[in-house]
Structure 1
Amino acid sequence: MSDTQTAAIYETRLELLDFVIAVFADAPDSEFVSELLEGDIELPDDEIEPTLDQGFENVERFRQQYTDRPLDEVVDHLEAEYTRVFVGPRPPVLPHETTYRDDTDFIGQGLAEVEESYAAAGWTPPSDYGEENDHIAVEATFLRNLIQWQYDGERPAVGFERVFIEEHLQKWVDMFREDVYEETDEPLFRAGADVFVGAVTFEDEVVSQIL
């Protein structure tokens, strides 16, 4: 594989996580929504992975549904739906790993185990998210950093990613996606859940090939 091809694969891996973070870290902002609606964020023409492909289809549905509506109206709608589904009061979907784990308590030992994974890799979560460290956006940011470290030549990051996928991400991402589909028809949030699951599946295959 050429250096150009390798770089392109790494860039794709990073962009998938950037998308997940932009969708779920907070209500999608006007800059991100504008880039989506105007086509500045390009989607692949070829099939990659079934769940990722479904996510890209949901992005297209989002574009078709909102392309002729004023940007501020779309952003306001997304903020209201994001608040209803993920923030509450009494949100139907809590985007935290520990809410989906039968073997741990919400914001209890499970959170400590997630934070131990971060510490083992020498990573400190950003302080500006305002969420517990098992939130989807924080875990996606950690995964993104591990990929970036690999891109920068830090091979131990592959091992940390392998463990984090097996011990954390694979234990809750599918259930989270099912809940998103059950609780909202909004194609952007469905796309975010699709891409999250698809990216984890894709990363699992990538690190298996490397190790």
Structure 2
Amino acid sequence: MSDEEIYAARLELVDFLIEALWDTPSEEFVGTLLSGEIRVPESVGEDLDAGFERLRTFIEENEGRDAEVVHRELNREYTRVFVGPRPPVMAHESYYREEMDFLGKGKAEVEASYAAAGWNPPEDYPEEADFLAVELAFLRHLIERQRRGAAEAFGYERVFLEEHMAHWIDDCAGDIVEYADGAFYEAVGRLLSGVVAFEYELAGQMA
């Protein structure tokens, strides 16, 4: 693969996770997924391979079904797992890290990492700074900067992964897999672990 193809694949994976975890995936996204327009590679690494296999299973199980119906089912699952009442997965860094107060000072540490890289969460992300999808959006920002030739973005990524995401993503991803109703969010959990592990290794090599 060329460098451009690798960047496109990295961004596509992170975009997929943001779409799946920020809120219920849109009906348009579900329709695109079921149409087969999203590429699913054959072999990348253990967690990524397992995630792609569950994603293929989801697509096969829902082949020919109406995207609106599948969207409603995913909305119910997302609400149960991430929204509640009493959601089993609280997708915030400060929830998973014992040394951070949940929605307390830990948020400021995450915000400081964003500020150091000159990034602010988009205004349409009303969640806290340490919410999983917001951290993924920051990761996407850094990958896009790398794509444009900003070598220092590898350093920002390495530090952010080392100081933040590497401490809690595997636990959160494991909970997503455990509490998922079916193949889609099982895929999301495994892909989440795989993407962060891949990015951590890459950033360490490049920084």
Which structure's relative contact order is higher, taking Cα pairs within 8 Å and 6+ residues apart? Answer: 1
Pick the aligned partner of 2:145 from 131, 143, 149.
149
Shift of 1:68: 2.9
Match of residue 92 from structure 2: 96
Match of residue 157 from structure 2: 161
Do the aligned residues in 2 keep the contact of 1:161 with 1:207 (CA within 8 Å)? Answer: yes
Match of residue 197 from structure 2: 201
Match of residue 21 from structure 2: 24
Shift of 1:186: 2.2
Match of residue 5 from structure 2: 8
Shift of 1:66: 1.4
Shift of 1:89: 1.2
Asked if 1:129 is matched to 2:130, the reply is no
Deviations 1:54-108 (A, max 9, x none): 1101111111221232221111111011001100111111111111001111111
Shift of 1:155: 1.2
Asked if 1:52 is matched to 2:48, the reply is yes
Deviations 1:103-159 (A, max 9, x none): 111111111101110000000001112211111110001001101101101111111
Letter in 2 for 1:29: S
Structure 1 runs of 4+ aligned residues shifted over 2 Å read: none
TM-align CA RMSD:
1.1
Shift of 1:196: 1.5
Q: Within 2, Cα distance between the matches of 1:57 and 1:101? A: 30
Q: Within 1, Cα distance between the matches of 2:96 and 2:186? A: 18
Q: Within 2, Cα distance between the matches of 1:142 and 1:59? A: 24
For structure 2, the 5+ residue unaligned runs are none
Q: Within 2, Cα distance between the matches of 1:142 and 1:88? A: 26
Q: Percent identity?
A: 47
Q: Within 2, Cα distance between the matches of 1:39 and 1:57? A: 14
Do the aligned residues in 2 keep the contact of 1:23 with 1:188 (CA within 8 Å)? Answer: no
Q: Within 2, Cα distance between the matches of 1:110 and 1:36? A: 35
For structure 1, the 5+ residue unaligned runs are none
Q: TM-score, normalised by structure 2?
A: 0.97
Shift of 1:49: 1.3
Q: Within 1, Cα distance between the matches of 2:173 and 2:82? A: 13
